């Protein structure tokens, strides 16, 4: 019921031109709890989850690509048994999947000095 009211309110704001557009993206499937990330002793657990969910969320964007934006807001509705604070990691992963992703490369000599470095854009992003 609250989700319906919020969606109606957003439509009113679009009609008043306070908001340019509203995009709805739905993810059904597994999610990662913030508790899991805090309990892990190695950063690799978080990194693996970031890569996994970035791929999932970016596929959602390609089916409904939003325009390039300078700023955006996020309203999250969920239907599971988790506390709201346990979804903060998923919210972060969702927002981070909007951003441009770059990978840096460095070529070092035998002494460890950097001879050459460059970056490659892995994902253009929307923000």
The 3-class SS string of the chain reads CHHHHHHHHHHHHHHCCCCCCCCCCCCCCCCCCHHHHHHCCCHHHHHHHHHHHHHHHHHHHHHCCCCCCCCCCCCCCCCCCCCHHHHHHHHHHHHHCCCCEEEEEEEECCCCCEEEEEEEEEECCCC
pLDDT score, position 42: 84
Number of domains in the chain: 1
pLDDT score, position 15: 92
The whole domain housing 89 covers 2-123
Q: Could you read off the pLDDT of 77-106 as tens digits, one per residue? A: 888 888 888 888 888 888 888 887 888 888
Counting as low any pLDDT under 70, the low residues of the chain are: 62-67
pLDDT score, position 117: 83
pLDDT score, position 63: 61
pLDDT score, position 118: 80
Q: Are 122 and 102 in contact (CB under 8 A)?
A: yes
């Amino acid at each position: 019921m609250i989700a319906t009211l919020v969606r109606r309110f957003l439509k009113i704001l679009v009609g008043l031109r306070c908001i340019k557009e509203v995009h709805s993206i739905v993810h059904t499937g597994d999610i990662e709890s913030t508790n899991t990330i805090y309990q892990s002793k190695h950063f690799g657990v978080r990194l693996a989850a970031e890569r996994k969910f970035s791929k999932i969320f970016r596929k959602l964007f390609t089916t409904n690509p939003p325009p390039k934006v300078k700023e955006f807001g996020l309203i999250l509705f969920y239907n599971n048994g988790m506390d709201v604070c346990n979804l903060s990691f998923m919210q972060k992963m969702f927002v981070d999947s909007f951003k441009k992703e770059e990978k840096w490369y460095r070529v070092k000599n035998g002494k460890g000095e950097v001879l050459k470095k460059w970056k490659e854009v892995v994902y253009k992003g929307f923000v």
